[in-house]
Structure 1
């Protein structure tokens, strides 16, 4: 055999060994991937890409691995390469769009979402694109959640926090201070345990672990607690006597267990009847009266990856049949970490409804029959471009916790504390003053304290209107409709309790009688006062006598109200008193001329809050301009 032949054989042998080595590496990477050991699988797939062995497949696996690790930055990097491959499954278009949302590239995300849909893909939820430019709508919405610092996060994963009886319960993968750490292959962090600390605690270590039998050597948490603090529901791996249970494919699922408290220890661990070895049941939550347990599950018959369910808890502690909450809540993707607040509103996390990134937190909207009719994204800062989940609200409705793996945190998942200033709105019904029927399609104008129009809307079929307003402000709202006399109300949002969300302000419109009445009403002038005085002037008496004549002789059923004002000079308190004196003087004058007091519904003073011009305190105005603000006006409430 010639030397050349020896060389050829040697090269072929080397090539064969190399191919065999690469095949073995790919097989090992896939085994790790299928065992959810994504961190280790990524290392091998990267080597395969570098060696140019089955590169397209390895790139797709890298993209999916990073996606499962909730790392959109790296996932988008590899999905970008994957979608350029020939004959790529269109599902990768959708996955790429989702990863782009995770890095706030919303414009490009919409491009690939459209490509996915145009290629025949069914969107995970019909909500996508329903509200046009969703992200801009969310970012422009008025903020009602504000963040506080949390001092007990770690460099590991911390989530599922809630308060009970002065203590905070949460789940964490921290396991510092122990001699042996068991590592979860998925993300190579320790397994979850349940911790409990005092609300004002700053230090958390292994001594803070829940005492008793809830914590095992595998995943435990998050948890839900009954109001009396004696019963705990918690998620845990399917484990019996520290041995994992598995389905037919060897996969270990999550189940919900129940524990009872004896002294300071949690014992008597009991598996719930709703569990199954072949699917996961997790994330327990109780409704207000503790008659229903809400949870997440990927049981057969659902809408997607995992759905929100609820099940009746009977008085004897047994359970009914789980009920899926339906397609308004659940999507073809995943929903989880449910929570029910004191008002019965369901909050949950989802990556199927339209959101700002990966998992977002949503709240449900119910009709008068307590039926869920829609879901609402909680917006920023509760939601971000990352995973946001495990929402909890204290009984006051104004504070609580949620969890997120957003940038800027301390660890993998972090716990965030929030306080809430609920949105405030004025609502009411526009009604015909004669027959008390609602007036549909009435024009409603909202004005600020300077009579500058803020917004204009139209009432619905039932004369109803609702407008968002700011706190600590003064407003005027005017109702108009053809063939009716305008009506208005003034109201303030100052000094309201934080939990107040609605100000009721109904409007009554009186039908116009005829053209003559209109002319007469327009001839009723505003009356004016001298500076720092509430004495009725001679010119004012002339106008007041016109009103007396009209009410006594022409329109004996007409009802009015009196509103008095001051100019801007002097303190707010003093001017409030002065305007009340002017209203009283006007009222007394009309009564002294024979007007029945019942025909004057109100005589109120508004001080300097409603100036008619720009003559605010300190402004350089002529005396004639200040005079225009020292006035009393007459509003017709009813006229037949």
Structure 2
């Protein structure tokens, strides 16, 4: 046969594609003309606070996200870097993702991989971690697709070698060394002196089912193997050793390489045999297969740029018989080992053999779906009994009849390699649909957002699908759970929000989004603390000085007042009901005054500020004197308000 024996290895090639992301600009850029008291609680406010030396994980998250969604990846990367450096234990894994994505956009692939490695330690459900998980538990994964084939030996096997079946008219073309007198002593090498030829048999005919050679025009004293006939039946593509003018042609290492050739059918004879233009004396090209429309030729090569020992490529075939430029199928398909013997079914499923993807031993057959010329990212082992602990390869399949053929050197065969016929009893599961539902709301008012857009974006930052929320703010999506996706909610006038959906087992998921307004229009009596999404401003027990951890929240108000010089506010301070009423009133007044004094000390004019303490007179729940409440319920009443006066 036409393959080389290698030790069974499982290899993961992690390549970060070079992408220039075209993310939409959802946040308004600088130089915007604001309406009076129209606040942007994003870059301008947070950056000004940060420039003053006041920092918190929440501030860096918001600032980094603002840059990220504005596609300002340089600033986003710098912000996320600081976030991860200073607050590693206070952030979730999504910020590692966004940092890595930002680094990739800047072309810093090595740093991006290091960040992704840290992410994989935080969660076992990201793409790389899931790959490791599948690798370690790959036998369980293979079981899910096992038991779908009924297999029997090919009627035309001999004690010699038979493999590489391909469809031709009412039967097959296949490769064998049956007429060379060789009992398949060679093992998977094209350097031996034994010869393979191409044969034809009408498997569907009872009258004419004899095995015959294709003819001297195709077969030579070298190896001929792995063939495919064009859709119009006029051209035969096949693999042959590098042979010219009656002589072997070797590369600089003395190896006889493989080449692809094309023969033309004229008067019933295959003739006018020519090399394909992308052949070379220094690397191999072999194992042709066509797309269903016949416009793309798939083949195998170890040409420069390959990921492993052999990779699968494709090339456009034009109507005039010329070819485009060969294209590597990429590291979703190809690994550092061998990917070989491609076949594309009528439903655009690419089947191939590999010893780089997790398998049962030797070469296994795998399948992946081709959609709009792209691969869906899922490479599935087709399972037992088609795959075994030996080499299983040269798979072909008719989706109309659910029947096909493949070759194997498994125990129990007649020769070194034998062809087997099979019937598929259940389809290969290449799609995993996960239901994702949720509601999109305004973060401040909690009102549902009707007509909000919810998108699914893959890890290459390309949009997969989109929907909008209904009259109740709800959405429903179905995503591919075999790969990681970002679910992103968008609405005009709001800052986008997204959640990452890792590779999963397909269980339904609920993701609710609470969007912050891009511009928050305020007027007399509105609470600036609510509009700027301030965290609670805490004071130490029985004290009223501004604590260090609360300074950053007050600084956000100061930044807003500096941006809008006509803005005047009143600081209202409240306590919970615990303690004496008169004392709480006094303490709240002191805290309001302390807040005002702090803001004045930072440059805000005293005539733009007022302060008043209300003690426990304006509780926002029922936690009055004598009512048992939890600490969390009491906490809601200990609040500071920054009410707009003018």
TM range (shorter): 0.3 to 0.5
Give the alignment's TM-score, normalised by structure 2.
0.46
Higher relative contact order (CA 8 A, sep 6+): 2
Give the alignment's TM-score, normalised by structure 1.
0.46
Q: Higher helix share goes to which structure?
A: 1
